[in-house]
């Protein structure tokens, strides 16, 4: 769903912005290799071009374009009133975004890294999540908090946390996490259009991955509502019949690689990409598990009291009689995220997933 | 969008007053006061004023209108405290003794200006025009907040200390980006100035040169902890200079001075001179809330000392002496306050049964599948209870 473009930059006679938009459309037409980062950047630019109320701000998001370059070129194209740097204060960034959303804007703000969103936790848990409910919907907060998260890049401490469970545990927040370049574009557009606040978690190890994508076609399909929304709809990333791997964000590619490897051994694994942790698509997950009778949930975050434990609990509640084996998990250990040289022991790996699959009580010869 | 750099804005406004930027940002040497404790107007020149910190006397009409709200405010506080004692609501943080601050905070604002109040600022919220029973919904336990912030341009009464100051900054920032001349008044207490969001909000407002008035009611205590344990700054108003904004201290029990100081702050902010910090020196006459026992941390004699500075008595004496309070005016004001109190009593005594379905209806703009399932579960549970009756 696209909001009506009440005040598009082009309509305001902002010629350079209109020219930039036209240039982007021509350059993006046709299928070509596109990075995850570029897809996010295009989603921001397209949303900003459509509506003047969409604002981008955070730390180093202006001239630098963000430490991951996700906001590259936005200040140049839309001006310092639309994309700007703030003082270093995460609670300040989120708190100011709340006020802006209260007063007609749609802020899309960036937390520089997962662990640096923690100073903003009070604003997120006490206001972002609760304003709509406490005012019975009279004060909606349409805003997006973008958070680069998770590891796998050899990052130092405080740069690799999988913090999704904190947000998912807080009623009132929506939690999106794309795993493909296509979804990166579509889901960010959807998050910006959402009347509810969205915590948009970007697996930082995917920023530089490429996929063959026609961005211009995606743009058109989003703006004409030609694609179904991703919110509350998990994707079947790979069809299979023997067991279901359920993953999201950074773990989807690992699950896909595991399914690939299992196929070589004659085992057909289905892979579900959760896409939106909140709201969670119980239906698609359960449909798959009822079909296969076996499931492994994969996530980088420590497994204890986590999104992965929630998914297992829900499968157990809903699919108990279809299960041939206990639902297993492959998650990060219940330790702080390790230093770079130890990361490989911590992260869910293809082998660890295949071991879990092997442990799903297969009958002899199956 | 105004393109004035914050530093230029400070230069311009201070040169307009003929003082240095430092003298503009630093509060006057003493707090601004206009009425003495006997309700006599200080002769001009002895109001704590100095160059760049001079405040003209508000008009007689403004003073009488403000007095009317002051009397209503006192009545609201006392009525609500009585309702708590009678068990009609769980908790009411009274602003008894601080009503002059409450009234001035509301009256200094124009129709399109926003207010960001705290749990203690019920009287200010009502004085800005929010329907009393909509305000009370939160205190009587119907829902966390009962009025439409957009309709009244009054945000929710915030409990997490100083979080609301940042929202105020955001509202002002959005308005400024659209070229609107909205001013935002953001309120907090003395203890709250120690919170991180206080610092972040003041800094953001100054860096983005936003029309926000930070209004600190220094009532000397944060629950049990006195100000001396929160800060050793010369005054809370002095914190302003650290952010590059103007600070001022005012006698918080002197409605005349409050109207003058806040009135000027709003004008300066609206003209694009950036944010200001106003610290009002007042006293919380009652316990933090009904659940608190103030005798554990302060002497009764201290409280007694503040009775002499009562904001209502001072204002009444001044207006009566000035001939601005003829009998019919006083009678009208008393009747108005009584009517508000009656409405509060009637409203609080009538049973209002909140709908349990509301638990799930507003968490998201459209209930998620999970919300709908849980709503159905509760509805089913209630239906079975009903059947069992
Ligand atoms: C972040 C946060 N910490 C603690 C509290 C609990 N609390 C409520 S009021 C209060 C004292 C605040 O004092 P002050 O800012 O001086 O305001 P006053 O109550 O005196 O008006 C405290 C500690 C809170 N509401 N929010
Ligand atoms: Mg206090």
Q: Are residues B198 and B341 in the same domain?
A: yes
> Are the Cβ atoms of B156 and A282 closer than 8 angstroms?
no
Q: Give the Cα separation of A60 and A15 in Å (integer).
A: 26
Cβ contacts of A86 on chain B, cutoff 8 Å: 204, 207
A251 forms bridges with which residues in the sheet? none
Q: Poorest-confidence range of A24-38, A130-144, B274-288, B352-366? A: A24-38
Domain contains B10: yes
Contact A127 B167 (CB under 8 A): yes
Find the closest chain B residue to A195 by CA distance.
B365
Residues B278 and B376 in one domain: no
Q: Is A4 on the interface with B (CB under 8 A)?
A: no
In tens digits, chain B (389 residues) has pLDDT values of: 445 788 889 999 999 999 999 999 999 999 999 999 899 998 765 666 688 898 989 999 999 999 999 999 999 999 999 999 999 888 999 999 999 999 999 999 999 999 999 999 999 999 999 999 999 988 888 999 999 999 999 999 999 999 999 999 999 999 999 999 999 999 999 999 999 999 999 999 999 999 999 999 999 999 999 999 999 999 999 999 999 999 999 999 999 999 999 999 999 999 999 999 999 999 999 999 988 999 999 999 999 999 999 999 999 999 999 999 999 999 999 999 999 999 999 999 888 889 999 999 999 999 999 999 999 999 999 999 999 98
**Using 50, 70 and 90 to split pLDDT, how confident is the model at A8?**
very low
Q: Is the pLDDT of residue A31 over 50?
A: yes
**A151 Cα distance to chain centroid:** 14
CA of B217 to the centre of ligand 2 (A): 7
For residues B283 and B374, state if they share a domain.
no
Could you say which ligand is closest to the alpha carbon of residue B95? 1
- List the Cα angle B142/B148/B151 in 5-degree steps: 155
Six-digit token pair at A3? 């909001």
Asked if the C-beta of A119 comes within 8 angstroms of chain B's C-beta atoms, the answer is yes
Touching A: B residues 229-288, CB under 8 Å: none
**Cβ distance B197 to B241 under 8 Å?**
no
Closest CA to A240 of A297, A315, A312, A292: A292
DSSP 3-state helix, strand, coil percentages of chain B (rounded to 5)?
Answer: 50, 10, 40
Q: Are residues B315 and B370 in the same domain?
A: no
Distance B209 CA to ligand 1 centre (A): 28
B205 and B258 co-located in one domain: yes
For ligand 1, the distance from its centroid to the CA atom of residue B172, given in whole angstroms, is: 24
Regarding the beta carbon of B160 and ligand 1, being less than 6 Å apart is answered yes
Contact B178 A81 (CB under 8 A): no
Give the three-class secondary structure for A39: helix
Residue B237 shares a structural domain with residue B89: yes
Q: Residue holding tokens 């520089």?
A: A112
pLDDT of residue B175: 98
B219 lines ligand 1 (CB under 6 A): yes
**For residue B227, what are its two tokens?**
């100000």
Ligand positioned closest to the Cα atom of B192: 1
The number of the ligand nearest the C-alpha atom of B223 reads: 1
Residue of B nearest to A170 (CA): B363
3-state secondary structure of A305: coil
Cβ-Cβ pairs closer than 8 A, A with B, add up to 138
Provide the terminal-to-terminal Cα distance of chain B, rounded to the nearest Å: 64
Q: At what angle do helices B132-140 and B327-349 cross, to 10 degrees?
A: 40
pLDDT of A3 higher than 60: no
- Quote the ipTM score: 0.96
Instruction: State how many domains chain B has.
Output: 2
Q: Closest Cα to residue B200, out of A99, A84, A89?
A: A89
Start-end of H helices in chain A:
15-28, 36-50, 74-78, 90-102, 121-123, 131-134, 164-168, 181-193, 215-223, 251-264, 282-292, 307-319, 343-346, 350-358
B162: domain range?
6-349
Residue at B335 is within a domain: yes
Coil/strand/helix, residue A330:
strand
> Which of A81, A87, A96, A100 is the best residue to mutate to test the B interface, defined by the most B CB atoms within 10 Å of its own CB?
A96
B1 found inside a domain: no
Local confidence band at A239 (pLDDT 50, 70, 90 cut-offs): very high
Query: What is the predicted pLDDT for the residue at B323?
Result: 96
Ligand 1 atom at shortest distance from the alpha carbon of B223: 11
Residue B218 lies in a domain: yes
Domains of chain A plus CATH, in order, are 31-223 (3.40.50.970), 235-359 (3.40.50.920)
Q: Of A81, A103, A195, which has the smallest distance from its Cβ to B1's Cβ?
A: A81
Which residues on neighbouring strands pair with residue B184, listed in sequence order?
B114, B212
Return phi, psi of residue B225, to 5°.
-95, 120
Q: Are residues B299 and B381 in the same domain?
A: no
B199, B270, B297, B345: the active-site residue? B297
* Average confidence (pLDDT) over A125-146: 98
Q: Give B370's contacts in chain A (Cβ within 8 Å).
A: 279-280, 282
Looking at residue A1, its pLDDT comes to 39
For β-strands A83-85 and A174-176, DSSP reports them as unpaired
> What are the tokens at B43?
């002769």
Calculated CA dihedral for residues A216, A221, A227, A230, nearest 10 degrees: 60
Contact present, A172 and A98 (Cβ < 8 Å): no
Length of chain A equals 366
pLDDT for res A13: 44
- The answer on B381 and B338 residing in a single domain is no
Catalytic residue among B284, B314, B316, B318: B284
Domain holding B273: CATH number? 3.40.50.970
Distance of CA A75 from the midpoint of ligand 2 (Å): 42
Asked whether residue B342 falls in the same domain as residue B369, the answer is: no
Q: What is the pLDDT of residue B44?
A: 65
Do A199 and A210 contact (CB within 8 A), yes or no? no
Q: Please, which pLDDT band fits residue A143 given cuts at 50, 70 and 90?
A: very high
From the list B163, B196, B362, the residue facing A136 with the nearest CB is: B362
For residue B354, how many other CB atoms are within 10 A of its CB? Answer: 11
Question: Are β-strands A235-238 and A269-273 bridged in parallel, bridged antiparallel, or unpaired?
Answer: antiparallel
Asked whether residue B248 falls in the same domain as residue B324, the answer is yes
Chain A residue with minimal CA distance to B169?
Answer: A96
Q: Are residues B147 and B221 in the same domain?
A: yes
Q: How far apart are CA B149 and CA A260, in angstroms?
A: 54
Tell me, what's the pLDDT at B3?
53
What is the rounded distance in angstroms from the CA atom of residue A102 to the CA atom of residue B151?
12
Residue B141 sits at the chain A interface (C-beta within 8 Å): no
Rounded average pLDDT over A277-285: 98
Q: How many CB atoms are located within 10 Å of the residue A93 CB?
A: 30
On whether any CB of chain B is under 8 Å from the CB of A127, the answer is yes
Q: Does A361 touch chain B (CB under 8 A)?
A: no
Tokens of B380: 């089913």
Pick from A115, A104, A102, A105: nearest CA to A84: A105
Q: How far is it, in rounded angstroms, from Cα A172 to Cα A134?
A: 10
Report CA torsion sign: B146, B151, B156, B157.
negative
CA torsion, points A231, A237, A239, A245, in degrees to nearest 10? -90
Q: Could you report the per-residue pLDDT of A192-227, keeping only the tens digit for each?
A: 999 999 999 999 999 999 999 999 999 999 999 899
- Partners of A269 in the beta sheet? A243
C-alpha to C-alpha distance for B227 and B232, rounded to whole angstroms: 8
Whether A159 is catalytic is yes
**Do B113 and B152 meet the contact criterion of CB atoms below 8 Å apart?**
no
User: Using CA atoms, how far apart are residues A250 and A165, in angstroms rounded to an integer?
Assistant: 14
pLDDT at residue A364 greater than cutoff 80: no
Cis peptide before A279 (omega within 30 of 0): yes
Specify whether the CB–CB gap between A127 and A98 falls below 8 A: yes
Contact A135 B168 (CB under 8 A): no
Instruction: Choose between B6 and A39: higher pLDDT.
Output: A39
User: Is the CB of residue B302 less than 8 Å from the CB of residue B309?
Assistant: no
Ligand 2 centroid, distance to A121 Cα (angstroms) = 25
* Angstroms from A96 CA to nearest CA on chain B: 4
Are B97 and B210 in the same domain?
A: yes
Q: Does A341 touch chain B (CB under 8 A)?
A: no
């Amino acid at each position: 769903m696209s909001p009506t473009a009440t005040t598009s930059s082009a309509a305001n006679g902002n010629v350079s912005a209109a020219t930039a938009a036209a240039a982007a459309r021509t350059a993006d037409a046709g299928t070509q290799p596109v990075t995850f980062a570029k897809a996010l950047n295009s989603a921001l630019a397209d949303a900003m071009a459509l509506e003047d109320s969409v604002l981008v701000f955070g730390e180093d998001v202006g001239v630098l374009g963000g430490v991951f370059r996700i906001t590259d070129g936005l200040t140049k194209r839309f001006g310092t009133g639309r994309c700007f740097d703030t003082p270093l204060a995460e609670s300040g960034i989120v708190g100011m975004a709340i006020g802006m959303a209260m007063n007609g804007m749609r802020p899309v703000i960036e937390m520089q890294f997962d662990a640096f969103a923690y100073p903003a936790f009070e604003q997120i848990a006490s206001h972002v999540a609760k304003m709509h409910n406490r005012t019975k919907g009279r004060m909606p907060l349409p805003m997006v908090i973008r958070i680069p998260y998770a590891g796998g890049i050899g990052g130092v401490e405080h740069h690799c946390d999988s913090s999704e469970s904190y947000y998912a545990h807080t009623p009132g927040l929506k939690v999106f996490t794309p795993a493909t370049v296509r979804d990166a574009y579509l889901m960010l557009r959807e998050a910006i259009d959402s009347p509810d606040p969205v915590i948009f978690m970007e697996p930082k190890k995917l920023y530089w991955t490429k996929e063959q994508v026609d961005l211009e076609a995606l743009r058109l399909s989003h703006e004409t509502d030609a694609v179904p929304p991703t919110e509350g709809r998990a994707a079947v990333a790979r069809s299979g019949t023997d067991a279901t791997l359920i993953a999201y964000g950074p773990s989807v590619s690992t699950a896909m690689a595991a399914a690939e490897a299992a196929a070589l051994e004659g085992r057909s694994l289905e892979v579900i990409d959760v896409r939106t942790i909140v709201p969670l698509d119980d239906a698609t997950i359960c449909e798959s598990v009822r079909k296969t009778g076996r499931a492994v949930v994969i996530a980088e975050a420590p497994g204890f009291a986590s999104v992965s434990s929630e998914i297992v609990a829900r499968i157990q509640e809903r699919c108990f009689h279809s299960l041939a084996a206990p639902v297993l998990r492959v998650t990060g250990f219940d330790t702080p995220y390790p230093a770079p040289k130890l990361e490989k022991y911590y992260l869910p790996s293809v082998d660890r997933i295949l071991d879990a699959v092997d442990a799903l009580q297969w009958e002899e010869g199956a | 969008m105004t393109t004035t750099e914050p530093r230029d804005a400070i230069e311009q406004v201070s040169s307009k007053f003929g003082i240095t930027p430092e003298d503009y940002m630093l509060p006057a040497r003493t707090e601004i006061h206009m009425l003495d404790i006997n309700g006599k107007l200080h002769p001009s020149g002895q109001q704590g004023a100095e160059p760049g910190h001079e405040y003209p006397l508000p008009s007689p009409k403004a003073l009488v209108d403000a007095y009317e709200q002051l009397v209503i405010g006192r009545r609201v506080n006392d009525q609500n405290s009585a309702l708590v004692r009678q068990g009609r609501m769980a908790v009411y943080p009274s602003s008894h003794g601080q009503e002059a601050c409450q009234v001035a905070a509301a009256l200094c604002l124009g129709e399109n200006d926003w207010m960001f109040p705290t749990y203690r600022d019920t009287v200010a919220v009502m004085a800005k025009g929010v329907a009393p029973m909509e305000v009370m919904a939160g205190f009587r336990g119907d829902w966390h907040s009962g009025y439409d912030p957009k309709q009244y341009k009054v945000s929710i009464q915030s409990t997490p200390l100083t979080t609301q100051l940042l929202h105020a900054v955001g509202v002002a920032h959005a308005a400024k980006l659209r070229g609107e001349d909205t001013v935002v008044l953001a309120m907090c207490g003395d203890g709250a100035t120690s919170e991180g969001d206080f610092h972040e909000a003041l800094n953001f407002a100054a860096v983005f040169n936003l029309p926000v008035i930070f209004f600190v009611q220094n009532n000397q205590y944060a629950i049990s902890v006195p100000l001396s344990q929160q800060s050793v700054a010369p005054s809370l108003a002095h914190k302003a200079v650290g952010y590059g904004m103007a600070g001022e201290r005012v006698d918080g029990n002197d409605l005349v001075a409050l109207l003058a100081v806040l009135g000027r702050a709003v004008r300066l902010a609206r003209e694009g001179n950036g944010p200001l910090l106003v610290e009002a020196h007042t006293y919380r006459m009652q316990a933090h809330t009904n659940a608190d026992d103030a005798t554990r941390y302060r002497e009764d004699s201290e409280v007694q000392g503040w009775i002499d500075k009562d904001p209502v008595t001072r204002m009444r004496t001044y207006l009566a002496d000035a001939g601005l309070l003829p009998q019919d005016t006083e009678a009208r004001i008393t009747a108005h306050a009584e009517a508000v109190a009656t409405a509060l009593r009637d409203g609080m005594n009538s049973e209002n049964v909140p709908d349990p379905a509301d638990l799930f209806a507003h968490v998201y703009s459209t209930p998620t599948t999970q919300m709908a399932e849980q709503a159905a579960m509760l509805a089913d549970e209630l239906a079975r209870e009903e059947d069992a009756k």
